[in-house]
């Protein structure tokens, strides 16, 4: 007996064309084909989707929250990347 369990997969579903694939949840499956089928049966029972991606969870490289300081905080003081940083007269239009 192999005693090997079905690996975990992450499921991404596009609700309708024009929208991005969004993370819906996860499930277990022995291989990519079955993962896709299971995703269809588990996550689109109420017509929630028109396209599905599955990816084995172990293949996702995730950032570590401990690094959040160096990863994300340096972006916080770059206000000049946002339109509100620039001062324009109130009566100017189309801008």
Partner 1 sequence: MTNENLIQYIYGIADNSLILGQRISELCGHGPTLETDIAMTNMALDLLGQTRSYYQYVAELSPKDITEDDVAFLRTEREYKNVLLVEQPNTDFAYVIVRQYFFDVFHFMLLKELENSKNVNFQAIAKKSLKEVSYHKRFSGDWLKRLGDGTEESKQKAQQAIDDLWVYTDELFHMTDNDKAVSKAGYGVDTTNLKDSYYAAITSLLKEATLDIPDTKYFQKGGKNGIHTEHMGFILSDMQYMQRTYPGMKW
Partner 2 sequence: MENMKEKEQMKSLEDIFEAKIARDEKIEPKDWMPEKYRKTHIRQISQHAHSEIVGMLPEGNWITRAPSLRRKVALLAKVQDEAGHGLYLYSACETLGISREELYDQLHSGKAKYSSIFNYPTLTWADIGAIGWLVDGAAIINQVPLCSTSFGPYARAMVRVCKEESFHQRQGYEIMMTLCNGTQEQKDMAQDALNRWWWPSLMMLGPTDDESTHTEQSMKWKLKRKTNDELRQQFIDQTVPQADILGLKVPDENLKYNNETGHYNFGDIDWEEFWQVVKGHGMCNKERISARKNAWDNGEWVRDAAIAYADKQADKEVKEAV
Binding positions for partner 1, rule: CB under 8 A:
2, 6, 27-30, 33-34, 37-38, 41-42, 45
Give the number of residues written for the chain.
95
The residue within the footprint of partner 2, chosen from 8, 19, 50, 71 (CB under 8 A), is 8
Tell me which residue of 18, 88, 2, 12 sits closest to 55, measured CA to CA: 12
In the shown chain, the binding pattern of residues 18 to 57 toward partner 2, with x for contact by CB under 8 A and - for none, equals -------xxxx-xx--x-------x--xx-----------
3-class secondary structure, 6:
coil
Question: With binding defined as CB under 8 A, does residue 60 bind partner 2?
Answer: no
For residue 22, the tally of other CB atoms under 10 A from its CB is 13
Give the nearer residue to partner 2 in terms of CB position, either 27 or 54: 27
Separation of alpha carbons 79 and 85, rounded Å: 6
In whole angstroms, what is the distance from residue 18 CA to residue 51 CA? 11
Q: Which residues bind partner 2 (CB under 8 A)?
A: 1-6, 8, 25-28, 30-31, 34, 42, 45-46, 62, 64-66
């Amino acid at each position: 007996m192999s005693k090997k369990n079905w690996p975990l997969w992450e499921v991404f579903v596009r609700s309708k064309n024009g929208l991005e694939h969004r993370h819906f949840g996860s499930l277990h499956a022995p291989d990519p084909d079955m993962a896709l089928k299971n995703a269809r049966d588990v996550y689109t029972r109420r017509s929630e989707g028109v396209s599905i991606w599955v990816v084995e969870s172990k293949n996702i490289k995730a950032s570590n929250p401990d690094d959040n300081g160096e990863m994300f905080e340096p972006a916080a003081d770059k206000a000049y990347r946002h339109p509100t940083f620039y001062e324009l007269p109130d009566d100017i239009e189309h801008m």
